[in-house]
Structure formats: C-alpha cells, structure tokens
Structure 1
C-alpha cells in the first residue's frame, strides 16, 4: 500500500534557520551560548599537545552542541573522537571511501541518512541488504562505511538525535556468523559514547524468530541500558510502525513513502566520493598518545568516555 503513494526524491536538506533555532531550544542553548562553547573548545584544543589543532570548524560546532550537558563532557568526547581513530585501527585505518572494499559494501548493503527530520528533530539512518547471499557480506566494510557517513553528516548537519532502523529481510544465521563481535563492540562504543550524537531509538524490522534470538544475544548486549530500553523489534507485521517513526521519512521498501533504501544509499555513496579529500585529511586526523599529558579518556575495550 505504501509503495503506491507518491515518493520523494533523495536529497540532503541542511537545517534551515527555523530548524537551527528549534534545535538550540531543545538543547537549552542560544546562539551566543553555542558560540561561547565553540570558542572555549577551540582554546582548550590549542593547549592539548596530543590532539590535532587545524581541524574543521564544523567539528567544533558539532561538539559544542553538547555543551548543554557541560563543556567538560564536550572536551572528553572531542578528545575521544580523535583518540578512537588510533585505538580502533580496524575501523579507522585506510579512510578512503572510494576504495574497492567500500564500493563493494555499497553494492551489498544499502545504508545512509534519510531526508528530513522527525518531529523531535531526529535524523533516520537506515540499513537493508541488497544482495542477500552471505558471501557478499563484509561486516568490517559495513561498519567502516557507517562511520564514514556519520562523520560526513556530522559536519553537514545540525541535529539533536538519531534513530537507527535496520530491515532484517534476507538476514540469515550465516550473516551473523560473519559479524565480528569485537569490532561491533568497538563500533557501538564509538557511536554511543564518543560521537556528539544521541541515539533516540533503534528499530529492527521484518525480524524472523531466529533473527530475534540472535539480535537479543549478540547485538542488544552491546547497547547501553538506556538505549537498549529504546530498542524495538518488529516481525513481519509492521502495521504499528507509523506510531514510532514518520512513514514519509522511511524508505518505500521498508514500509514508508520516502526514497527507496538503495536510492538513499547511492546518494550517500556519491557524497562520500565527493568528499574523499576531507576523509583523507580531516577525517584521518588522530591523537598522538606520545604527546599526551595525563590519562586517555578512552580505554579500550568496553569502556565509556566518562
């Protein structure tokens, strides 16, 4: 029924001034407070010998948006943001989004950020298998690509929360056997406690009974308690999906009326390629632990930033 409705074309629309004002209000910030936090972060960074100094100004903004919780948390997250790239080489080495392995991942799994905001000013990030044969699935390449997209949208967007939605159609036990739990754990550590984002909810769609068991035993234990409590699992019946996510944002092949998941994925693959120089420079900056004065805020494995 949903696929018969008029679908929108995939694009990225940066927040308008009205959006920016609303987001600041949600975060209990003002433009002046945000600018002050950006300046304080920049001054603090200049005093940290172990951290890179010539960084994208938009990165300051992304972290300063967390200053409603206190500037010290912003500093810890920014420190961890550059530290994690050295701590987790399997996820952050070779940051070339045009590499063959990343392109092959794009042909196997559709993933990316959807058009628009939810009423709570969340962004939707979706994932869905294109090629269902397990031989095509590369867990490491997918996790690296997700981090590419998260880094890029971090500097292009201004948002408060994100919602992660995975369509489990075509997933088999063999797919789960190809998942590296250690890399998945490291990935979730970065997303949950390092990046300046808040995960509002995680939704799994079209989950078969065996898939539900595997999710509950392999993936959910990697989530922080608060995020796990916000996780929802839907079987084949998604009639109540519109109660938890706006269908006009969700891809048409995932129960919504937005651009299809492959169109979303192709759009962000093109964006990654267009920004390859950013990833090879800004996106590859990392901490130099030999220059650190004090203890790292990020201790792997299984730690939190705080």
Structure 2
C-alpha cells in the first residue's frame, strides 16, 4: 500500500477544493459509483482494486467530469500494459540519485496548487543505466502523485542552472529507447510552467515551441531572469530559501524528506506501475494504440487550464 507521509491532505483543503469545483461528498460518491459500474462492464480493466480515494483523485484531475475520467482511466491502464514487462526490468532510482531532481513541495499554495521544483544535481555522475533508472523514477513520481496528491494542479518551476547542452542531448538520446506508452499513461493538470536561469539553447527552443502551441497553452509558460520575477507568479511564502523564499526548510532538507518518502514506497509504486494494467486478451472490441497520442489518438497527457 502506498502511504502519504510527505504532504497529507487535511479536510480544510479538501473542502476548499470541493467548493471551487462546486461538488459535495454525496455527488462525489455518486460519481465514483458510476465509474465503478463502468469499470465492471470493462472486463479488460482491473477489477475491485480502485479504492474510493484513488477514484476521487482521478475525478479531481478531470475537474470532476465523469466521462473525461473514464477516458483517462482507460488510457492509464491500457497504455501501461503495452510495455509492462520491459519497464518492470528497470529498478527505479531514488530522488537523491538522479541528475535531474524532481521535488514536489509539501505545502500547497493559496490557489491549492502543488509546486514541482525541477533542477540539476551536478553532484551525480550518470551513465546510461542510471539515466534509465531516473526515467523510471519519474514514473514512480507520477504514480505517487496520482495516488496521493490532492491539489487542483501543478505549477512547475524548471531551474536550468548548471544544465548543459550535452546533458540535454544525452538524456534526449536515452529517452528515445524508453517506453513512450508509459510517459503518455499519466495525466495531470498544469497550472503554469516557470523557467529560471534559461540558457540560450533553451530560449531558442521556446521560440520554436511558440509556433506550435495554442496561445492559451503558451501563456502558461513564463521565463524569469531573477527571483523577483519568479515571485510575481509564485509567492515566496511557498518557496525554500535557495529561491528567495520564506520557508524554513532548505532544499537539502526537503529533498531528504522526499527521498525517504519515495524509498519507503518504491516497492509498492513499482508493483502498481507494472501490475495494475489492462488485460487486452479480455477486451471486447478493438483498440488502436498510438504511443505518441495514446488510445485511438484521442488522448492528451497534460491539460493546461
């Protein structure tokens, strides 16, 4: 069982989130039962393993829209099934072992968003095996968030300090051999992306991205030259001191606590990643898999809204 000792949700926050989406406990219970009945009719999906809390979190990630939640659950179980055996042979790295540190901050903002800090850890020397284990760690983080996090969405702070073009190239090449179906299996709502210490090669990339993203999606991306600019989008009350914030806990302390959380759950997380999947031999009808876009090409991994 996956346990959340890092950032448990209190009832006050839960009530505020319910109020924001204009839902109540009775309505949520009704929607959960609708989804359960739908799952019972899908013989290829895992049966009787989804607890109410998990299904409520899935509803939350889809603004409590039942049909959207059904689609995302179908994708979640079916895409994981494509490469379960392959991904099961990779042992996850722990947060302190990865070159690219992914650190959820334990305190929600006043908008009930979860801040995710991503930065380079140059004390780690990675080889091909560790890179693959680091990719597996991102799956563990995604699975943990899906099972444990209760927030309205994620605000990502990507700090590029110390990241070189050669490192990016090395990871991009390795990513080509990592099962794409898994990266598309997880779903989340992204409230905003904050880029900090952006090198010239990333600035050039962003200019190219602007041409293919919608105006709404691109408006969620902000580039900051300093902490003062960052604090305009992310109140320093929620940031550690290394980012000019007011939190009493340092990055090293936060990373230590997060590492302990993942280490205590890693066996359960890895089991869920590869075992709670669809059984395609029981599927009624056909489905076309597209590793770039999901099931029948109709799904998107992230929602920026």
Please identify runs of 4+ aligned residues in structure 1 that moved more than 6 A.
219-225
1:167 to 159, 163, 166: 159
Q: Which residue of 2 aligns with 1:62?
A: 57
Tell whether the 8 Å contact from 2:44 to 2:281 is kept in structure 1 after alignment.
yes
Taking structure 1 as reference, are residues 248 and 68 closer, same or farther at Cα in structure 2, changes over 3 Å only? closer
Does residue 210 in structure 1 map to residue 204 in structure 2?
Answer: no
Q: Which 5+ residue runs of structure 1 have no aligned equivalent? A: 1-10
Match of 2:233?
244
Report the alpha carbon displacement of residue 264 of structure 1 after superposing the two structures with TM.
2.8
Distance change in 2, residues 1:230/1:220 (3 Å): same
| Offset at residue 209 of structure 1 (A) | 2.0
Cα-to-partner distance string for 1:156-176 (whole Å, 9 max, x where unaligned): 221111111111000111012
Are positions 1:53 and 2:47 aligned together? yes
Equivalences for residues 71-82 of structure 1 within 5 A = 71-82=66-77
1:272 to partner: Cα distance = 1.7
Q: Deviations over 1:103-155 (max 9, x none)?
A: 48635332221021112110011111121677568554333222212211322
Distance 1:91 1:23 in 2: 38
RMSD (Å) for aligned C-alpha atoms: 3.3
Structure 1 SS opposite 2:227:
coil
Cα 1:288–1:38 shift into 2, 3 Å = same
Give the whole-Å Cα distance in 1 for the aligned partners of 2:55 and 2:101. 30
2:157 aligns to what SS in structure 1? strand
Task: Give the distance between the partners of 1:94 and 1:263, measured in 2 at CA.
Answer: 31
- Partner deviation per Cα, 1:229-283 (whole Å, 9 max, x = no partner): 3011223x23221110121222332342333334333322221221134224333
Structure 2 stretches lacking a partner, 5+ long: 301-305
Counterpart position of 2:121 = 130
Give the Cα separation in 1 of the matches to 2:161 and 2:123: 8
- The residue aligned with 2:146 is 154
CA distance in 2, matches of 1:184, 1:203: 26
Query: How many corresponding residue pairs?
Result: 287
Alpha-carbon distance change, 56 to 114 in structure 1, aligned in 2, over 3 angstroms: same
C-alpha distance after superposition, 1:14-67 (max 9, x if no partner): 222111111011122111111111111122112211111132413212113256
The residue that corresponds to 1:119 in the other structure is 110
Match of 2:78 in 1: 83
Instruction: Tell me the secondary structure at the aligned position of residue 101 of structure 2.
Output: strand
Distance 1:90 1:27, change over 3 A: farther
Using the TM superposition, give the Cα deviation of residue 184 of structure 1 relative to its aligned residue in structure 2, in angstroms: 8.9
Return the match for 1:15 from 9, 13, 26: 9
TM-score (norm: length of structure 1): 0.80
| CA displacement at 1:75 relative to structure 2 | 0.6
The answer for the alignment partner of 1:6 in structure 2 is: none
From 223, 240, 245, give the equivalent of 1:256.
245
Deviation at 1:201, TM superposition (A): 0.6
Q: Does residue 262 of structure 2 align to residue 272 of structure 1? A: yes
Give the TM-score, by structure 2 length.
Answer: 0.80
Relative distance call for 1:276 and 1:171 in structure 2 (3 A) is closer
